Amino acid sequence: MRLRQINGNGFILLYGLITAAAAVYLKEVEQQFLPLIVLFYSFFIAFIFYAAISFSTLWPQRALIKRNWKLIASLNLMTAVTWVAYFYSLYMLAPSVVAAFFLGTFPLATIAMSYRQYQHRKVLMTEVIAATLIIPCLLPLTNLSWTLCLPVIAAITASNSSISSFKLSQQGFSATHVLAVRFVLACVVMGVLVSSQHVSLSLHGLDFMKIALVSIATLMLPLYFLQRGLALTHPIRVAFLIQFIPIFTYLFEFLGGQKELNMHRLVMLALLTVILMIITRIQQKRKLR
């Protein structure tokens, strides 16, 4: 049991490091391409990859998929909302700012959604409400207060996704199987959004490679490590460990030349990380009482 927990923690920390580095790279790519184009290709590439490597083992489990179709549909919808909000927030804000707002919301949202009542709800009201958030995410992002809401929206829906992924793991889905079913409806949603916005999807070879790297670094690798971690540890512990992402992100911004090293800001981010970890721990203890 102890080794299982250590492995789970390691996967989550790897997820945090890769996510931080990918956010800095994504910020650079989104200065060249519209976020919607990057989203569409990133989802499509991730779906093709995980479907290809999982089809032979996932197809015999059609009955398992059918029994959990509501949970899978929820995960797909939350995935679409999360990444639309996340990509657009990085388009407008510095990666370390996005990470701070995201991580400030994620643990509290995870704790709120982890209550017993959440496990027995009969309607997908959270998903229905969250789906409507895709539309304003695509509006002109000129208002700073609204822009700062985007990483918060991403965090709330991401916490929902982490719980759904954890439940699918408990039902017998492997990490790659969860990722294979995660992008099916999400790709459809992105296709509808691209069509409604009349966006051209034509890309040159080098441009496609840049976006393919975004998909690998932002979706495929981090989500794989996150899914492995979720299969080995509780979402509450995940919320606790990923509080280090703002510090990782700021350091990668410095290494990438996007920011100068500011010790005051680094100390403030470290303090924020500690505060969030304490809050998460307190809320976890209250939940267990």
Q: Is the pLDDT of residue 250 over 60?
A: yes
- Least confident piece of the model among 200-209, 219-228, 264-273: 264-273
Q: pTM for the full model?
A: 0.75
Rounded average pLDDT over 136-154: 65
Give the span between the Cα atoms of 177 and 246, in whole angstroms.
29
Residue 149: the pLDDT is: 82
Taking the domains of the chain in order of start, what are their residue ranges?
2-288
- Of 64, 87, 85, 78, the residue nearest 113 (C-alpha): 78
- Of 184, 255, 191, 282, the residue nearest 25 (C-alpha): 255
**Residue 236, Cβ neighbours under 10 Å: how many?**
19
Q: Using an 8 Å Cβ cutoff, are 60 and 112 in contact? A: no
User: Residue 135 CA to chain centroid, in angstroms?
Assistant: 19
Q: Is the pLDDT of residue 119 over 50?
A: no
